[in-house]
Structure 1
Amino acid sequence: MTKLLSQEMIKQLISMKEAVDIIDKTFIGIGEGTVVNPPKVNLDLGQTGGYPYYDGFVNAMPAYVGWNDSAGLKWVAGVAGERKAQGLPYINAMLLLIDPKLGEFVAVMDGTYISNLRTGAQTASALSTLTDKKHLTVGMFGSGVQARFQIEALVERFVIDRLVIWNHRRSTAEKYAEDVRSLVDGEVIVVDNPEDATKNDVVITVTGAHEPIITKEMIEPGTIVMPMGSFQEISDELILAADYLYVDHVYQALHRGALEHLTEKGLITPDDVTATIGEVAAGKVAVENLDDAITILIPIGMGAMDVAVGGEVYKKAVEQSIGEEFEFITYE
């Protein structure tokens, strides 16, 4: 029997604190070699402007996670076009889990909430792996759903002394500021000039920008820059000027998002990666002193994180008898 879990069921079964702890364990597993995470397989549905002209993509993200013996696949779509015209969220995902020993599908569940949850959680986990600071000032670029999850996760590990928000539409930024104000201990500020949001300990971008918003001149030493989007949110000059570059998955980080076209030009190679977050988490690589350095930190997103969170959700669903059971195949 396969357990079916809706988004509302999943929300009952997992908290952000639990998600951050799960991501910690999974980063360690990646560093120790007990996580198997092939690169994403991308199906272009017109995201790059070609045929078919649906202005979207689908990624297949399989993984095995050793520490909780979970295996599965996240199938995630990002579609603008007609989906946007109908007022639907850009991202939509499903997560399929399989018993790795038996090969039976044990769960089919909403992957959208898990995807948002773990993306926020991996930011908090990665940052707490690289820095022992307890207080942070944060510059947030973007004011959508993911910007909210970023703050929910960060406050599980850090006290935010100041949150500075920039968004291309100020009204959206102001609404987001009100939404997260209760989560932030310090002041929450909305700015019109992008540079005003870069004078912080950490700068996070969660936008759909295809052109750089943040340039080299905006970033001071001692700043950790986290370009989380799948596009070009920070300038090539900033990336090339960085003292340290940490990523979650070398191949994926080099071929998506901020580093993609620098890789295509041969200006960034695997040798330019300081270390993976997993190597640091597992104690295989010591963190350099980042106080006087410009650091780029890119947890671009790995299927292992979704599978790890989904695996824990499934176990709790079984324990609490939550979810529907469906028999896809009847064996005689």
Structure 2
Amino acid sequence: MTRLLNEEIIKKLVTMHDANRIIDQTFQGFGNKTVINPSKVSLDLGETGGYPFHEGFVNAMPAYIGDMDLAGIKWVSGIAGERREAGLPYISAMILLLDPRMGEFISVMEGTYISNLRTGAQTANSLKYLGFKDKVSIGMYGAGEQARFQLEAIADLYEITELRVWNHRRETAEIYANEMKQYVSGETIICNPEEGEKAAQAEILITVTNAQEPILLREWIKPGTVVFPMGSFQEVDDDLILSVDKIIVDHPDQALNRGALKKLHKEGRVTEENIFTTLGQLAIGAVEMPNFQEEIIMCIPIGTGAMDVSIAGHVYKRALEQGLGENYSFINYN
């Protein structure tokens, strides 16, 4: 039997605090090599402007989680085009879980909420591995849904003493700042669309936009700053990428072939040799993060199926314990 779980049920079964704990464990699994995570496979549905002109993509993201003895895959789409015209969110996703001993699919669940949780938790845990302690200041580029999850995840582990918000529409940034004030102990500064440099005056800069042209420039960044380019395209300029002192990623192959590094990697200007280490290695202490007060760091937890499968496994276990969701038989072996 396969357990079916919708978003409403999932929200009852997992919190951001849960997600931060699970993502930490999964990063350690990467470091210990008990997690198997092939690179995502991407199906271009017109994201780059070509046929079939649907202005989107679909990614297949499989993984095996050793400490849970669980396999799974997230199938996630980002579609503009007619989906945007219908007023629907850009991202939609499903997660399938597999019992690797028997090869049976044990659960099918909505994946968008889990995607948002784990993306925020990836950033929050990365800060821990980089050596941040109790308090942080944040410069957030973007004021959409993912910007909300980013801040909530960080606030679960740190006191946010200052938040600077930039968005291409100021009114959207104002709404975001008001909604997120519960997570910020200090001042929130709203930056006008022409004040991108003002938002960069924080120790941690996070870009979560759909921008396909750079919105964050090298000339704005001071030493001691960590930049998290989290968008699917290139939100930071070439000069910044080429001049950072250290690049840290979650998955080298994926990070080089999607997002901020993709273009420069394709040109042969950024390769795996430019990557200082992975978050998994930092998580288990195999690599020590040196003091970077005089350096600029770029950290790219671009997102892996393992993070989705791990959280989905937690949700599935709790659903069984609480009797939530519906069982469905796709095949009758009798």
TM-score band, normalised by the shorter chain? over 0.9
- Residue 227 of structure 2 corresponds to which residue in structure 1? 225
Q: Deviations over 1:235-262 (max 9, x none)?
A: 1100111001100000000011110010
Aligned partner of 1:287 among 289, 295, 298: 289
Q: Which residue matches 1:9?
A: 9
- Deviations for 1:274-304, whole angstroms, at most 9, x for unmatched residues? 0000011011111111111100000000000
Q: Which residue of 2 aligns with 1:277?
A: 279
Give the TM-score normalised by the residue count of structure 2. 0.99
Q: 1:235 pairs with 230, 234, 237, which one?
A: 237
TM-score (norm 1): 0.99
Amino acid across the alignment from 2:227: V
3-state secondary structure, aligned to 1:93: strand
Q: For the residues of structure 2 that align with 1:168 and 1:58, how far apart are their CA atoms?
A: 26
Shift of 1:186: 1.1
Residue 116 (structure 2) aligns with: 116
1:19-58 deviations in whole A, cap 9, x for unaligned?
0000000000001100000000000000000000100100
Q: Paired residue for 1:59?
A: 59
Alignment partner of 1:187 is 2:187: yes
Letter aligned with residue 33 of structure 2: G
Structure 1: 5+ residue runs without aligned partners?
none
**Which consecutive aligned stretches of 4+ in structure 1 deviate over 4 angstroms post-superposition?**
none
User: Equivalent residue for 1:328?
Assistant: 330
Q: Which residue of 2 aligns with 1:33?
A: 33
User: What's the offset of the Cα at 1:108?
Assistant: 0.2
For residues 64 and 290 of structure 2, what CA distance do their matches in structure 1 show?
30
- TM-superposition CA deviations, 1:46-86 (whole Å, max 9, x none): 00000001001000000001122221000000000000000
Alpha-carbon distance in 2 for matches of 1:311, 1:13: 11
Distance 1:83 1:132 in 2: 40
Q: Secondary structure at the match of 1:178?
A: helix
Q: Give me the whole-angstrom Cα distance separating, in 2, the residues matched to 1:153 and 1:173.
A: 19
Does 2:150 correspond to 1:160? no
Q: Is the 8 A contact 1:146 1:206 kept in 2?
A: yes
Separation in structure 2 between the aligned mates of residue 132 and residue 119 of structure 1, nearest angstrom: 18
**Structure 2 unpaired stretches of 5+:** none
| Counterpart Cα distance in 2 of 1:199 and 1:131 | 20
Secondary structure, aligned partner of 1:154: helix
Q: Give 1:132 shift.
A: 3.2
* CA contact 1:25–1:67 (8 Å) conserved in 2: no
In structure 2, distance between residues paired with 1:68 and 1:174: 42
For the aligned residue pairs, the C-alpha RMSD in angstroms reads 0.6
For 2:309, give the aligned amino acid: V
- How far the C-alpha of 1:133 sits from its partner, in A, is 2.2
Q: Which amino acid aligns with 1:284?
A: A
Partner of 2:253: 251
Partner Cα distance (2:179, 2:102) in 1: 45
Give the 3-state SS of the residue equivalent to 2:48 in structure 1.
coil
